Structure 1
């Protein structure tokens, strides 16, 4: 029986991917590293520092920065990103998400957030949906980022729910792998081929297909399968 649904944030609840892209591109260009949308796809679902290390490796300069300098670069990117976040409004919530959250609340299903973004609480505030969430897992509270299951397990623990009774919703390969490793039911929203390759139990084209009754049926079918 489903007792909780745990969401990723970027690319599932709202689109902050373009804001991340702008901030990372500006940072990379400032240190003479070429940065394009294709490479940006490799950063989806992973932490800020892991993203920075990937960028530095991509530019062949990973060994030219101390840990302190890397932290300064990551902070610089985040400050620009936070400046862009203030433009987020409730109308920036993906179609179907608000209806899905309402259906979960009406069914007494617990709701959690398992985002690699440290700005998760602020983003929910800007979107005016914080009150829907029973818990927000702090990415700083776990040792390993996605694709490790840590943050999804942390969210389940904070909700007081067994991972086997949770549905995780993600849009990235790393996120789907994390949900599967946490022994949760994985719902992938996005490109069918990418989500299936990552191992999603259920693949949805977009967030309008997040319908509670149908999700519950799919979950039950797998459990009884």
Structure 2
């Protein structure tokens, strides 16, 4: 599904992040990614989604090389990125509008989208939240809504950045239940080792441009 070869990336201010990074993700794998702050975990997600451009190397997704912006349109339709900061993902006035945004942009009708919103809210324990004002939600509620916006697009793979940081046990359990029941292929960035034990089959450490099994 994802195959990265000899990837190099530096930020414009000179910080080198990756020098020859290699990584692959197969369909059906559930992976945890850990590492020190600044190791490049979030940067890797942004490169996979085409939000950043590598200096060199290959990014192959769904068996196609992805190099320029138009190459990543399909990627963003088939892979869902849940940002570390939910406020970066939620921009509509209400919960239902945020969840509906993706399906509508994928060409679904208003009626189809309404059904999707209802189904997603049911799965994630957000029934009754549809008309709530997004920016007034708690941090945990925002994280669930952010996940819901991606779930509504029915992606083949999830990239989830620090999903349970600061969440209470109830919200964490909802997140985990969804992943275990419906998530087939995903990568989770987190420092929460207990969560990873329950959520993924493999854990890797990103350190010095290498992703190695823990």
The structure whose RCO (Cα within 8 Å, separation 6+) is larger is 2
TM norm structure 1: 0.31
TM norm structure 2: 0.32
Pick the structure with more strand per residue.
Answer: 2
Pick the structure with more helix per residue.
Answer: 1
